Structure 1
Amino acid sequence: MPKAVSFAMPKIDAPTVAEHRANQERALLDAARGLLLEGGADAVTPAAVGAVAGLARSSVYKYFRSGDEILARIVADSFAEWGAWVRDAVDRRDTADDRITAYVRVTLELAAAGAHRVAVLGGGTPGDPAGRAVLARHHRDLAAPLRAALTERGDPDPELTAALVDGVLGRAIDRLDAGEPVEYVTRVTTEFLCRALRIIEFDH
């Protein structure tokens, strides 16, 4: 009589297979994010991500086709989280002027907390036009609440004005990265932009 063949089922650490896969994917993304912040984009390889997450490299390929795909997902998730925080802070304000200053403040607060580092490290290089185009699209989406507030207050060119505001914020973030206090940089930047945009009343 032939022996029965037994098949080892993969261990499922969740109530359903879908939840198990979601948990595994989250573990891989968390591992990749840590590698990115510690070692830059080159550190994010399927083998390295799997090792940190406790999975074989072959298992990583069930979720992501390459290190580049993992990086793209990390950056997209980072911008989605950032955007949610920005929208929440802006939407709680009553006037367009208050929404603009809220956008400025929350952007600098998040940058001071390191939220932008994932985008900077994983968003491609000057020699990667496709990666830079995706990063530019993410930045444009992030600034949607700012453009809406500028439009509401009658700005003649909200697209250009929003780009100029984000340019100022970019330089302010450089100062934060250099170690200047977030309270000081936020106050000076907010006051500068309020003068430039002729926002008379704002919270210090």
Structure 2
Amino acid sequence: MPKISAATVAEHRAQQRAALIQAAVDVLVEQGAAAVTPAAVGARAGLARSSFYQYFPSAAALLAAIVEEAFTTADTATTQALADIHEPAQRLDAFIRTELHLAAQGAHRPAKALMQADLPPECLARVHELHHRHYAPLQAAITAMTGEASELTGQLVGGTVQAAMTAIEHGADPTRVADRALALLHHGLTESATDRPPA
């Protein structure tokens, strides 16, 4: 029986699986989806290629696992941040500040790489589904603030958030970026609600 580095076999297997996923994320971010192969990921994780197949039947299965886990941290963080907040403008603030905090930690690297990768169609469809679900609370806050469910407004807000993430990834101060982005968004969304013709 191979030597284990955890208290139980189950914990050991969980650690090995996590190591493979982290190694795959690193390969994905650095080299793209095509480079995520059992041999490359096993080598990056310090495991034999045969060990890879004890956890994933194929590279496609590993990519599918990355897709699911890429959004788990962000979903958990935003759910916790919004748990006790009900006013739409405050929910928008909390969601965006949480997103930018995660960006500062590098938590969005896998999802960003997945969105840009040449993934199998089923994986790409799942990425877009999870991305849409993750941003649903933000879209709901925008709708409540403006009084209309505008896809364009949501896209423009999303573009501002993405630009803020990029600034943070390039070394800008997360708090300053968040403050500036939110000031712009509150002004724009307030103007949008004011300019909307009466029903």
Classify the TM-score, shorter chain.
0.7 to 0.9
Superposition deviation, residue 73 in structure 1: 1.5
Q: CA deviation at 1:154?
A: 7.2
Q: Secondary structure at the match of 1:115?
A: coil
Match of 1:5 in 2: none
Q: Alignment length, in residue pairs?
A: 191
Question: Once the two structures are aligned, what percentage of the paired residues are identical?
Answer: 41
In structure 2, the CA distance between the partners of 1:21 and 1:178, relative to structure 1 (3 Å rule), is closer
* 1:94 CA drift (Å): 4.4
Q: Does residue 1:47 correspond to 2:29, yes or no?
A: no
In structure 2, the residue matched to 1:115 is 107
1:84 pairs with 2:76: yes
Aligned partner letter, 1:112: A
The unaligned stretches of length 5 or more in structure 2 are 192-199
| Structure 1 alignment gaps of length 5 or more | 1-8, 200-204
CA distance in 1, matches of 2:53, 2:46: 14
Structure label with greater radius of gyration: 1
Matches within 5 A, 1:1-204: 9-14=1-6, 16-125=8-117, 129-150=121-142, 155-157=147-149, 161-198=153-190
Distance (whole Å) between structure 1 residues aligned to residue 91 and residue 163 of structure 2: 21
Q: State the shift of 1:169 in Å.
A: 1.2
TM-score, normalised via structure 1 length: 0.76
- Once residues 105 and 158 of structure 1 are traced to their aligned partners in structure 2, the CA distance between those partners, rounded to angstroms, is 22
Q: Secondary structure at the match of 1:198?
A: helix
Asked whether the 8 Å contact 2:145–2:190 carries over to 1, the reply is: no
Cα shift at 1:99: 0.9
Greater helix fraction, Structure 1 or Structure 2: 2
Contact 1:143–1:162 (CA<8 Å) still a contact in 2?
A: no
TM-score, normalised to structure 2, is 0.78
Give the match's secondary structure for 1:65.
coil
Task: Kindly report the root-mean-square deviation, in angstroms, between the aligned alpha carbons of the 2 structures.
Answer: 2.9
How far apart, CA to CA, are the structure 1 residues paired with 2:81 and 2:87? Answer: 13
The one-letter code matched in structure 2 to 1:71 is L
**1:3 corresponds to:** none
